[in-house]
Amino acid sequence: MTTPDRREPAPAPTEVHQDLDALREHYTKPRNRATKIEDRWHELRLGMAQRRGQHVTVLSLAGYGSPTWVRIFSRVVMAPDTDFENGRRVAKVIADGVRGWRNFVSAPVPFAQVSIVAAGQRFEVAADRGGIVDTVIRLADGVRLEPGWQEIRLEAPGAQPVTADVHIISDDATDGVICDIDDTVVVTKLPRPLLAAWNSFVLDEHARTPTPGMAVMMERLLSRSAGAPVLYLSTGAWNVAQTLTRFLTRNLYPHGPLLLTDWGPTEDRWFRSGQGHKVEQLHRLAEEFPHIRWTLIGDDGQHDPMIYADFARKHPESVRAVIIRELTYSEAVLAGGRAERPAGGQLLPTSRDGDGKRAPAVQQVGEHRIPWIYGPDGKDISESLTAHGLLD
């Protein structure tokens, strides 16, 4: 007697809508070998996800802008519907506590068609070849968004519509904060070569350790100026954006957009430059908000001091102060040593006071005197900021 086959039929392949003009433009221009390999890998993963019956999912990420324009961030991936709710991974023990590598399992949808609805207007955009949306929409003349946190709507064919928070920065804002993540707001204690892979593929946000006192210090900085924005600038990949957002929220850091990058190859190299990404984003923010003086926060375990010093030399009017978290001896060893002090006469030397604390340096650029504050944690930095009139 033949036993009936009780296996469920395979799901029908799901439909994916891609921007054909963007797709055609990409594949007709010259590409290096690394780009071709990654493109082929994305195609294979997308095809497998379709055959498994997974669905297009738009991931909701925070953005920023002014009353007349908004910079939108999002990722478009293939995933089971049960994994996400309103574009965010479902906050259950089994889902919220998953290892970071699951963020990389979801297949991206290259050049996905995405509709953005803001202030009653609709904008049609396309994701890049990695499924990442990083675009600026400009509202029609006479249409403005109110300063503060607003919501925009993201739609894609075959996906559930989602909402995303965007921080609309007032034209009257005068202060803001740009903050690094690894070793600045997060204590990693990992060898630098392994840091990115460990944080992305292995560690979940429950196991990350916040830097003591940094959240409170940043909140106090922002409270000095109504509507002051905070942006988190990191060399981390967009794949871990939601994990990092949950970590920052859970540890009471001020809510703000993440400025992350794509690890994929570029036209001239196998991996993108993390330093180049930070430099590019800093200069972009200076151009977008010339009326804001930023407090730059980083650590002395990598290149932050040199990047910030160079930015201050080129845009002294855009820098209010620089805060450098000093790593402990063990953290510095794991980070590959401490960053070199910025050289040149424009940064005056620091000294130690009677308690052994480092007095602030001053970077002189023309008529601008930019204080540099050092400290091992938020409490120590707050005391230095208060002592020098930079914090109430």
Mark whether 159 and 216 lie in a shared domain: no
End-to-end CA distance of the chain: 85
Number of domains observed in the structure of the chain = 2
Question: How far is 138 from 118, CA to CA, in rounded Å?
Answer: 10
Query: Residue 134: inside a domain, yes or no?
Result: yes
Mark whether 148 and 259 lie in a shared domain: no
Q: Is 155 exposed, middle or buried (0-12, 13-18, 19+ CB in 10 A)?
A: middle
- Least confident range from 104-108, 127-131, 208-212: namely 104-108
Contact 42, 107 (CB under 8 A): yes
pLDDT of residue 226: 85
Question: Count of residues for the chain?
Answer: 392
Mark whether 50 and 139 lie in a shared domain: yes
Name the residue with higher pLDDT: 114 or 245.
114
- Least confident range from 69-83, 251-265, 269-283, 344-358: namely 344-358
Query: Residue 7: inside a domain, yes or no?
Result: no
Q: Which residue among 168, 196, 213 closes a domain?
A: 168
Instruction: Give me the mean pLDDT over the 117-141 stretch.
Output: 96
Instruction: Give me the mean pLDDT over the 192-205 stretch.
Output: 51
Mark whether 62 and 186 lie in a shared domain: no
Query: Residue 13: inside a domain, yes or no?
Result: no
Mark whether 159 and 298 lie in a shared domain: no
CATH number for the domain that contains residue 326: 3.40.50.1000
Q: Which residue among 168, 184, 209 closes a domain?
A: 168
Strands, sheet with 319-325, edge to edge from the N-terminal-most edge strand: 258-261, 230-237, 175-179, 293-299, 319-325, 368-375, 361-365
pTM of the predicted structure, to 2 decimals? 0.85
Q: Which residues constitute the domain of residue 301?
A: 175-387
Helix, strand and coil percent figures for the chain, each rounded to 5: 30, 30, 40
- pLDDT tier at 97, thresholds 50, 70, 90: very low
Question: How far is 340 from 350, CA to CA, in rounded Å?
Answer: 14
Q: Which residue among 109, 139, 168 closes a domain?
A: 168
Mark whether 50 and 151 lie in a shared domain: yes
Mark whether 210 and 264 lie in a shared domain: yes
Helix (H), strand (E) counts: the chain: 11, 20
